[in-house]
Each structure stands twice: as C-alpha cells, then as structure tokens.
Structure 1
Amino acid sequence: MSIEDLLEKGVQAQDQGDLIAAENFFQQALKTEKTAEIWSLLAEVQIESGTYAKAHKSLAAGLLLEADNVDLLFILGDLYLEEGKFDQAIASYQQIIDLNPQDADARVSKAVAQLNNDDLSAAEETCRQALDVDPELAFAHNALGDIYIAQDKVAAGMKCFHQALKLDPSDPQPYLSLAELYYDDDQLELAEEYCQKGLELDASLAPGYLTLGYLCLDQDRTQEAIDNFQQFLRLETSATAKHIRDEVAAVIDGLK
C-alpha cells in the first residue's frame, strides 16, 4: 500500500471515529517515510484519543524535521492549551506570529491562552492586533467577547458574539456563549434556543450540554437535566475541567 493510500485510509478512519485504526495507518506510513505532515496527522489522532504524552513525542519528531512548520506549532500550542500549560501555549503561538506577523489566527489563539492565564489586558491587546490584521475574523470577535465577559463587560461581550455569528453563522461557539449569557439573565427560552442551535452545528461541544443541564434543572425537567449532565461528563475530558466535572458529578448524584 502506498503512503498516499495509507494517509487516505488514516484520515477516513479518523473521520469515522476509529482512532486506533487511524493511528495504525499513520504509523505504517512513517515506517516508509518520515515527514512533518505525517507526524502532524499522527499527533492529532493521539490528542483526540487523549494520549498526550505520545502526541508530544510525535510533535517533537515533526519539529525536528521542520522547526518552522506552522501546522505543528499550532497543534503544539493547542495541546499545551488543552493541558492548561498556558505559558507554553503562548510561546508556541508567538513562534507562529514571529514567522508570519499577518497570521491573525495565531494572534487569536495566543489571546485565548492569555485569557486562560488570567492576563486580561494582554489578551485584549493581542485580540485587537488580530482584528487589525483581519477585521472580519469571526474567531477574533468571539475571543474578544470572552475577554469582555471575563472583565464583566456583558453588553460588549454580547455584541462581539453577535458580530461573530453575523460573520460566520456556521460557528457554534458564539451560540453557546450567548446561551450562557441569556441563561444568566434568566431568559431561559432564549438561552435554550441558542444552546440547541449551537449543538445542532456541533453535537460534540461539552459546554452546551452543561448549559442545557442547568436550563432543564431550573425548569424541573430532572431527567433531561441528568441526561445532559451525563453527556457533558462523557465529552469533557480536559485536564483543566476537573473541578467542574466533580461539581457536575455531585449534582447528578443529588438528583438521583
């Protein structure tokens, strides 16, 4: 089987959720030829399967071949972000910006890492730099909305989320962010509408089920609340989410 066939089968297996088969196909391809592209494909599968240590080794191998490979640096930054290693994530995204100052996506990703690192002023500045590069980047407007919310500027945050949806109606994240804001404002019907819209676009987004769980709980729809909370626990595996996972598990126990 040629490398092209192995890569095609690996991508198909990954798309179908068969991560073990996908990893095997990419490993076979590496036995024939070691390239940064194949290492990046392998790393993405390993991250998806939760084997972060293996993913780090794959990324290191790829970067050894191409130290300036933007795809690998992005994956590495995202992996650090997932692990809660925000300083390392910022450094990875900064490498991309150093290579290409016009890379707005890297600036937004850096801003997200800075936000998670509780450096709100730096996050806002970095996000505005991204918007200077690309004023119509929905990703940047959504991130700026998150930054505003962290600063308790709810109206400004809501405006950013609506702008993100205007620019990219296919992005589920602003729907879920708005659902949380409407929930906090006790607009439960509107909150549920936006939450459902977000999950229709991407049913794998754990925060949507968390919001739906509390929406159902507030409306005495106990079994629906439990079902949504359990779905949240199935999907939310991030190391940084342990505290909220424990809280949700306790809520489920209390409802049963």
Structure 2
Amino acid sequence: MKLIAIYAIAKKELQSYFYSPIAYVVMTVFLIITGILFNTTLESFQSEFTPDHEPMEVIYGSSFWITQLILIPTITMRLFSEDKRTGYIEVLLSAPVKDYEVVLGKYFGASIYYIILWLPTWIYVYILFQLTTPDIGPILTGFLGVILIGLFFTSIGLLASALTKNQVISSVICFCIIAIIFSIGKLKEKVENETLSTIFQQVSLLDHSLDFSKGIIDTSYIIYYISVIVLSLFATVRILESRKWS
C-alpha cells in the first residue's frame, strides 16, 4: 500500500471541495440548517430537560438525521460519478496506483470534509454551556457518534457514486439507502417476531445514536460500522476492477 498515493488522492479530493463554489454553498446551507435546528433544540432542552434527557439526545431526534439525508448524498455524489462522466476515471486508473488506493484516497478526502463541516457546530456546545451546565460526557460521545455514523454513510455514498456516472442518480441511491437504514429503527416497533425485532434493533442507527447521546459506547456498534465501511469500500474496489474486465 502506497500511503503517499492515498494521501495525494485524499488531498486532491479535499481541495476539490473547496475549489468548487458548491462546497461553500453546502457548508453555508449546512450551518444554517444546524443553526435553526439547534435553536429549536435549545428551546426544547430548556423546557424539557430532566436528568435523563441529555442535549445530544434531543439533537439526535431532529437535526442529525435531517442533515445526514441532505449532507452525505451531496458530499459523495460526485466522488466517482464526475470522474466517469468526464472520462478522468480512465486516466486515474491507468496511473501507477492501485484501485484500492484510489478508493481509500477518495473516501478519506470526503470523510475529512464531512468532519470539517461539523467543527463549527462546537460553538453550539459553547452556547449551551453559557446557558446551563450539561454533562460533557454525553456530548463528547454524542459527537463521536456523529463522526462514526457519518463515516459509515460516507462509505455507502462512495459505493453509490461508483455505480453510475450520473450525480443525481448517485445522490438518490445514497439518499434512499440512508432513509431505509433510518427506517429500520422504526420497523422493530412494528414486527411481532422477537428474533427479527432484535436484529432490527442491533442494526438500527437510531438506537445507536440515542445510546451515544446518553454517554453509552457499545463496541458492537463500532464493529458494525467498521464492517459495513470495509464491505462498502471492498465493493467499490470490485466495481472499479470490473471496468478492466469489460
């Protein structure tokens, strides 16, 4: 594995976000949405707070899932789709780099951009501490959940982008997958089969996020995320390799 190659691709991918005006539009809209939803969350927090009701628990119940449904497809839709549309993918894959290095580079570039977008939201934490005295533990684990779930979805978005050269189709595929995964958490309440309900609960990111917001870190969740990320990246590599066979 050439770490230099992965670093170069990740750097180029990250720079491409900031060279494009769309990246700044995404960042602005994202901060506006999170700002509005934080204000709503703050009002709920001030009126509904109890020792068992953490601020991140309120956030996970509203803004997080809305931003994920919008943010991840927007970030990932162009990763491979644009390269396929312009033909640059052929140049990239003919360079002296491995397919998996290209995939890892693009994944890390998109993931870093995702993390950067969330950094300014720490000002909300500062505001929260000026108004009240919440427990910092659940806030830290809550943001850890934000990052882990974001990396989880980014790998899926990367895979969706490798499936088509149309960015709109890529974003729709990613959006639908995220929506389905979110819906799994609701399905467990409606199925009568206990085994099936348990499976739904284990893979429900909604349940995971609520645990993170309460300061609970379950290693099985992390193993689940890593497994899906690895499988998504592996599938993306295989899709790129299939171009050589066709």
**TM-score (structure 1 length as normaliser):** 0.22
Q: Which has the higher contact order (CA 8 A, sep 6+)?
A: 2
**TM-score (structure 2 length as normaliser):** 0.22
